[in-house]
Amino acid sequence: MKRWLGYSLILVVAASLVIVPTRAASADTSPKPSMNFMLNYDISPALTISSGTLLECSDPNCAEVVPLERLDLQGFQCGTASCSSMAYG
């Protein structure tokens, strides 16, 4: 009887460790502000984009600007003829 009780206790503890998560999971499914930039040229051949930086500011006069920081989905990237950005707000 004691042996069966010991096995049952081990089974309950093992099942609890598997069922109960060790840390909380969360997901951010809200829409993110994003922008797409298509660059059209009136010259031939069209130029190709080699790099780009999106600057953001928090004050109305844009006295202090900082590049958009790369975080998970947030960032600014350019292809050869277009750029896109996604920001967390």
pLDDT tens column, 18-50:
776 666 666 666 666 888 988 888 888 888 888
| pLDDT at 14 exceeding the cut of 80 | no
Per-domain boundaries in the chain? 34-89
Each residue of 14-47: b (16+ CB within 10 Å) or e?
eeeeeeeeeeeeeeeeeeeeeeeeeeeeeeeeee
pLDDT score recorded for residue 37: 87
Classified as helix, coil or strand, 6 is: helix
Note the pLDDT tens digit of each residue in 74-86. Answer: 899 998 888 999 9
What pLDDT is attached to residue 67?
92
Count of helix runs (H) and strand runs (E) in the chain: 1, 5
